[in-house]
Amino acid sequence: MAPHNAQNDTVTCTIDGLEVTVPAGTRLIEAAARVGIEVPHYCYHPGLSAPAQCRMCLVEMEGAPKLLPACTAQAGDGNVIHTHSEKSLKAREGVLEFLLLNHPLDCPVCDQSGECGLQDYVAEEGRKMGRFVEPKRILGRDDFGGDVLYYGDRCIMCTRCVRFMREVAQDERLTVVQRGHRAVIDTFFDEGLEGSLWAGNVVDVCPVGSLVSKDFLHKARAWDLDRSPSVCPNCSQGCNISIQTFNNQVTRLKPRPNMEVNSHWMCDYGRHNYQWMNRGNRIEAPMVRRDGKLVAVSWSEAMRTLADTLGKGSHAVRAVVSPFLSNEDMGALRRVMETMGGGDGVYRVETGEEAELPGFPTLKLRRDRAANGVGAELFGYRRAGGDDGTGGLDDLAGHDDVLFVAGDEIQDAPTTFGEKAAVFVYLGHALSDATRNADVVLPATSFAEMEGTFTNYERRIQRFLPALQGPGMSRPIWQILGVLLAGISEKAAPATIDDAFDALAEVRDDFGALSFRTIAPRGTVLPGFPALSEAAGR
């Protein structure tokens, strides 16, 4: 028997022949996961309580009189566990056969097909043929309100959805009604999931196709989706997400686990606010103004023209940046401005009411409805329009020297915006009446089309990866401005995102302690700064 380590309060056990040391109190299902062994399960979820009611995670422990549920049984010193013994496999086969008694065979039309726990476990461990000959029960579809549909026929009564609303959202709108084979999930009377900011998470936790998203319904098959790790851009919380795409279009956003930022969850505001990533009216080529008209040119000609113009004499520089830009984009523009003698820069951000997830209060839909307002402030851009973050461009409209606009924050600006500027440079995604006044238009990628980093409300630097292919000749803003900087100074243009991140140290020394590749998977809080006060409300 392995000795108990009182100093570190750990225990050592053996699972399927592999020895593992875990903290005392660790559940068997979690101990097995540490050595790469998946114990089949349905009702267990790491962010919820474990009722041990699905009986799928039964494992055999040497010396124990009966099988144990791995989701509640704790690892002990000297335990010898068998997750795939004859007894365990037989028990799981019986559970799967029981679940399939009434489960419809509608995998070809089910949105969960390809990522369904029932589908996977039946294929791995289930019976080859069913024995039930009586008619299956038919419950049909129920609209739970909001974005959630419920298919009662597919439900396996894991109760994850009920427990999420009760324990995490703390907004008890779902329950189990009836008993035995008639049991179904239902809402309380006429009150469904409408108005719940967190209800979309019940679709994520459902292990089968019982709860599905109306927004995603029949859009794509799971195996056709490309998945890219990213950061939600829709508020300053910085939830870790997976951007899932099909045919170069974002089809849905899903949360990724990060216990320091968003646990396993995300809000419905961020989940459903993605259509702007798919817009089609994008600028596809650089343009310069000739004879009063914007004319498409090559990148080399556009950058040479701009460098020649800005390299002559001194300039008073002003700038507007979007809080949806990456740190690398904002830092590159600040480096250009400082090379030209410095200047004033602002950012605009929409604000809204803050909402907290009661069961994980660190997670909130934050007041700033953009990912990188804190990053903008770190790189010397001030908040335009006062505390509400709107407006604030009046003093820039009449600027008569060099004006940079990075991002689409002036789409609603007056048609006369920028007309008086000697040089108006627009780096963005789409043309508007205001941006058509620019002397040079440079097509930029969105955050979903590039690598980069955001800084969230607590100054946590988090990486994101590209999920879409940028249109036409679009390029990341840090790359465009890096070439411009090389044209008006002796500085070398960054060749990679690593170079662009390293260059941020020229603007803020504290970024010098980090590198793009060494940022932790869960993000790294900027050294030398305490977390922002909650009172800041950003």
Reported as a single tens digit per residue, the pLDDT across 51-64 is 999 999 999 999 99
Tell me how far apart the terminal alpha carbons of the chain are, to the nearest angstrom.
53
327-339 helix and 477-488 helix, angle to the nearest 10 degrees = 20
Q: Compute the distance between CA of residue 454 and CA of residue 373 in angstroms, rounded to an integer.
A: 9
Question: pTM of the entire structure?
Answer: 0.93
What are the percentages of helix, strand and coil residues in the chain, rounded to 5?
Answer: 25, 25, 50
Strand pairing report for 80-82 and 58-61: antiparallel
Sign of CA dihedral 206, 210, 216, 222: positive
User: Could you report the per-residue pLDDT of 374-393, keeping only the tens digit for each?
Assistant: 999 999 999 987 665 556 67
Domains and CATH numbers, the chain: 10-98 (3.10.20.740), 107-112+134-224 (3.30.70.20), 316-527 (3.40.50.740)
Residue 534 scores a pLDDT above 50: no
Q: Compute the distance between CA of residue 325 and CA of residue 313 in angstroms, rounded to an integer.
A: 29
Burial class (CB in 10 A: 0-12, 13-18, 19+), 473: middle
The conformational region for residue 247 under phi > 0 = left, psi -120 to 50 = alpha, else beta, is: left
- H or E segment to which residue 23 belongs: strand 18-23
User: Which of 154 and 314 is assigned the larger pLDDT?
Assistant: 154
Q: Compute the distance between CA of residue 514 and CA of residue 521 in angstroms, rounded to an integer.
A: 13
Helix (H, G, I), strand (E, B) or coil at 2: coil
Question: If you search the block for the tokens 């068997």, which residue do you land on?
Answer: 28
Report whether 324 contacts 371 (CB < 8 A). yes
Res. 238 pLDDT band, cuts 50 70 90: very high
Find all residues with CB under 8 Å of 394, minimum gap 6, and list them.
Answer: none
Residue 398 scores a pLDDT above 80: no
User: Could you report the per-residue pLDDT of 127-160, keeping only the tens digit for each?
Assistant: 988 888 888 888 889 999 999 999 999 999 999 9
Q: Compute the distance between CA of residue 397 and CA of residue 408 in angstroms, rounded to an integer.
A: 15
Residue 312 scores a pLDDT above 80: no
Q: Report pLDDT for 1.
A: 41
User: Could you report the per-residue pLDDT of 402-421, keeping only the tens digit for each?
Assistant: 999 999 888 888 888 888 99
CA distances to 255, 261, 355 from 406, rounded to whole Å, are 28, 28, 30
